[in-house]
Amino acid sequence: MAASKLFKQLKAKPPRDLDAVVHGLHEEAFRKVDCLECANCCKTTGPLWTDRDRERVAKHLGMKTAAFEAQYLRVDEDKDWVLQQLPCPFLGTDNYCSIYDVRPKACREYPHTDRVKQHQILHLTEKNAAICPAVDHIVQRMEALYLKAQPSSASEQQSRGRHKRR
Ligand code: SF4
Ligand code: SF4
């Protein structure tokens, strides 16, 4: 698959212009993709909840942090706080987030394609291409820009497992 070949190449030797290219493609992608018509991240991969996230959202909802955690969250196998259920219970049927102003840091920062040091999160970008149409657009454009012409291997498979957002 072209995407796995791209990421293998980028991880082996990250281009110097990687941040500038990804940031430009991020702007381009989000001019095309409307999150309110998508919400796939909120439906399929809940965020990781930091201490501050849990305290802030609980306070916003007028709940004690412990009661909020008991109602909405669980601790996963990595000892991270995650949602008990997906889609996220704060996602409305209109795809609006009911706690948007106080949403978790991981939700604010997703899909991370506007942050610096993109070479450090290539594994995340590769996974997120299967979840987020904006990242998929970015990756397709990166393939056109960076991928050296090589015969593809039928055995290459992209990991598309569910994961939480950091
Ligand atoms: S998956 Fe990507 S495009 Fe869809 S709502 Fe989330 S950030 Fe927006
Ligand atoms: S808290 Fe809001 S932005 Fe985050 S997953 Fe839930 S609905 Fe989406």
Give, for ligand 1, the residue of 41, 91, 103 to mutate: max count of ligand atoms closer than 8 Å to Cβ.
41
**Is the beta carbon of 29 within 6 A of some atom in ligand 1?**
no
Q: Are 121 and 112 in contact (CB under 8 A)?
A: yes
Domain boundaries, the chain: 2-40+111-146, 48-109
pLDDT tens per residue across span 122-136:
999 999 999 999 999
Tell whether ligand 2 has an atom less than 6 A from the beta carbon of residue 49: no
- Residue 148 CA, chain-centre distance (Å), reads 26
Specify the pLDDT at position 164: 67
Q: How confident is the model at residue 1 (pLDDT cuts 50, 70, 90)?
A: low
Q: What pTM was computed for the model? A: 0.87
How large is the average pLDDT for residues 18-35?
97
Q: Is 140 in the pocket of ligand 1 (CB under 6 A)?
A: no
Q: Give 78-112 as a DSSP string.
A: TS-EEESSSS-TTB-TTS-BTTGGG--HHHHHTT-
pLDDT in tens, 42-100: 999 999 999 999 999 999 999 999 999 999 999 999 999 999 999 999 999 999 999 99
